[in-house]
């Protein structure tokens, strides 16, 4: 009953009230709990920003210590769960493995996943730490599985270093920490920490609104993040840059194809459902890209191609009139490549980074005593009523 507003893709629908992230797409502003992303990128690190996003305040020294301890205590994945990887094909899609493993965490932590808001909220600190820490460990296990290498156990290391250790150490030789690499990975994770009601976070809220536990809700969000129009875009950007490079093209073909307005030929890493201005994360990443490559002494031809492509697109009327600018995914892949991370892992890293925002959003839903189950309506434009036709008359 009543009047249903048609808002395709919910672009103009406020689906919830939230105190986590402020996003002003017209002016390119992004703030977590009031703090501008530029300040967090310059002064904070991923774990501290995760705490901020989840708990609403920057941690004091004692809170930070306690949070770090919880993350370290929860870094290991149960031996039985590690056996899941025996059943995944070596070339299973990484985001499929990640979503399955995160969903499976619910069965290994039944006390944290009761599908009852009250009890699940009582154990929220533990669940948040399990998720943040284990998603990273699972991410590293996915990498090792792809390479056919044995898993490496976490050590008492800072968050990003531990991830690099679990990916790149060998049983006979530890990965050597390179401060520039640790810093760049930290920055990448931090820049992905939350982003308002994006497709995957909204999915987490939607699923969570049915009182589904936090693990099941995040697993669903990871599924949403896997799509090439969302988290999968960082992979698609690299594939695009690589094929421009392989063909010795200057990128004109991709820009011209994108201008046809066909969904399947979009310029990857360009445009955003909310930003009608530069994505502030893209500005930070673009700059970091130059710095990281210079510090590591890497000359990547794909970076030159990306810059030429950006320049070409930004001078085209098609992109100017639609206010299409590079987004966070445009340069992030080039940094990850410089860190030695293969393209197949890019979206997994996005998912690890995005966990704090998804956790905080799940908590808002679970804590809202007056919250309703998410249940949008539709505009029905199918058949009017008609009579059933028996098989012999069809
Ligand atoms: N290349 C060419 N045309 C585009 C592009 C693009 N990348 N993005 C949007 N357009 C066109 C679109 O076809 C539409 O044209 P018209 O008005 O003629 O119909 C116009 O620009 C406005 O599109 P929109 O309403 O802003 O786009 P949307 O909200 O439907 O889609 C998007 C947003 C991010 C899915 C889209 O820009 C896109 O597909 N970009 C490429 C994929 C990508 O980089 N995704 C990562 C997004 S940021 C990180 C994340 O969320 O995961």
The string of pLDDT tens digits covering residues 168-196 is: 999 999 999 999 999 999 999 999 999 99
Report ipTM (2 d.p.). 0.96
Give just the sign of the alpha carbon dihedral 209, 211, 214, 220.
Answer: negative
The CA-CA-CA angle for residues 8, 9, 10, to 5°, reads 90
Find out whether the beta carbon of 134 lies less than 6 Å from any atom of ligand 1: no
Q: Please, which pLDDT band fits residue 262 given cuts at 50, 70 and 90? A: confident
- Angle between helix axes 199-208 and 346-367 (nearest 10 degrees) is 40
Residue nearest to atom 52 of ligand 1 (CA): 230
Q: Please, which pLDDT band fits residue 313 given cuts at 50, 70 and 90? A: confident
pLDDT at residue number 31: 98
Residue nearest to atom 27 of ligand 1 (CA): 273
Q: For residue 137, how far is its CA from the centre of ligand 1 (angstroms)?
A: 33
Mean pLDDT over 310-328 rounds to: 91
The yes-or-no verdict on residue 334 having pLDDT over 70 is: yes
Residue nearest to atom 31 of ligand 1 (CA): 273
Find out whether the beta carbon of 230 lies less than 6 Å from any atom of ligand 1: yes
The string of pLDDT tens digits covering residues 58-99 is: 999 999 999 999 999 999 999 999 999 999 999 999 999 999
Q: Please, which pLDDT band fits residue 141 given cuts at 50, 70 and 90? A: very high
Mean pLDDT over 138-163 rounds to: 97
Find out whether the beta carbon of 285 lies less than 6 Å from any atom of ligand 1: no
Q: What percent of the chain has pLDDT over 90?
A: 85
201, 226, 271, 285: which to mutate for ligand 1, most atoms within 8 A of CB?
A: 271
Mean pLDDT over 210-229 rounds to: 97
The whole-chain average pLDDT of the chain stands at 95
Q: For residue 378, how far is its CA from the centre of ligand 1 (angstroms)?
A: 23
Q: Which residue pairs from 240-245 have beta carbons closer than 8 angstroms and sit at least 24 positions apart in sequence? A: 240/267, 240/268, 240/269, 241/302, 241/305, 241/306, 241/309, 241/333, 241/334, 242/302, 244/305, 244/309, 245/301, 245/302, 245/305
Q: For residue 34, how far is its CA from the centre of ligand 1 (angstroms)?
A: 27
Shortest-distance atom of ligand 1 to CA 263 = 13
Give the closest residue to 281 by CA, choosing from 51, 43, 54, 36: 36
Lowest pLDDT segment from 55-59, 102-106, 242-246, 354-358: 242-246
Q: Please, which pLDDT band fits residue 254 given cuts at 50, 70 and 90? A: confident
Find out whether the beta carbon of 232 lies less than 6 Å from any atom of ligand 1: no
- Among residues 161, 165, 272, 279, which one is catalytic? 272
The string of pLDDT tens digits covering residues 8-37 is: 999 999 999 999 999 999 999 999 999 999
Mean pLDDT over 30-49 rounds to: 98
Compute CA distances 93 → 100, 131, 167, whole Å.
Answer: 11, 20, 17
Find out whether the beta carbon of 266 lies less than 6 Å from any atom of ligand 1: yes
Is 7 an active-site residue?
A: no
Find out whether the beta carbon of 192 lies less than 6 Å from any atom of ligand 1: no
Q: Please, which pLDDT band fits residue 1 given cuts at 50, 70 and 90? A: low
What's phi and psi for 360, nearest 5 deg? -65, -40
């Amino acid at each position: 009953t009543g009047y249903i507003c048609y808002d395709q893709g919910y672009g103009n629908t406020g689906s919830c009230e939230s105190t986590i992230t402020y996003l002003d797409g017209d002016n390119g502003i992004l703030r977590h709990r009031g703090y501008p992303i530029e300040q967090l990128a310059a002064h904070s690190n991923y774990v501290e920003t995760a705490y901020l996003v989840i708990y609403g305040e920057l941690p004091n020294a004692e809170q930070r210590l306690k949070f770090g301890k919880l993350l370290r205590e929860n870094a290991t994945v149960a031996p039985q769960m590690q056996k899941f990887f025996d059943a995944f094909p070596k070339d299973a899609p990484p985001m499929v493995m990640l979503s399955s493993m995160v969903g499976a965490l619910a069965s290994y932590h039944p006390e944290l996943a009761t599908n009852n808001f009250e009890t699940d909220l009582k154990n929220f600190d533990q669940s948040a730490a399990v998720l943040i820490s284990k998603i990273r460990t699972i991410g590293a296990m996915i990498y090792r599985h792809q390479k056919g290498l044995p898993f490496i156990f976490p050590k008492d290391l800072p968050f990003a270093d531990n991830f690099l250790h679990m990916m790149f150490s060998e049983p006979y030789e530890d990965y050597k920490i390179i401060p520039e690499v640790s810093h760049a990975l930290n920055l990448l994770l931090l820049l992905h920490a939350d982003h308002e009601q994006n497709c995957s976070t909204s999915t987490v809220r939607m699923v969570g609104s049915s009182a589904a536990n936090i693990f099941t809700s995040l697993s669903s969000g990871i599924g949403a993040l896997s799509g090439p129009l969302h988290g999968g875009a960082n992979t698609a950007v690299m594939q695009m840059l690589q094929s421009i490079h392989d063909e010795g093209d200057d990128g004109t073909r991709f820009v011209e194809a994108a201008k046809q307005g066909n969904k399947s030929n979009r310029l990857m890493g360009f445009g955003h459902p909310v930003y009608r201005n530069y994505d502030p994360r893209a500005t930070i990443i673009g700059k970091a890209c130059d710095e990281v490559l210079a510090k590591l002494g890497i000359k990547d031809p794909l970076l030159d191609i990306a810059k030429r492509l950006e320049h070409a697109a930004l001078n085209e009327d098609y992109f100017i009139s639609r206010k299409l600018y590079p987004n966070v995914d445009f340069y992030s892949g080039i940094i990850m490549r410089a860190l030695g991370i293969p393209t197949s892992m890019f979206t997994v890293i996005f998912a690890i980074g995005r966990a704090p925002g998804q956790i905080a959003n799940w908590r808002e839903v679970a804590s809202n005593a007056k919250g309703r189950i998410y249940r949008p309506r539709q505009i029905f434009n199918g058949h009017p009523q008609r009579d059933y036709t028996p098989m012999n008359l069809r």
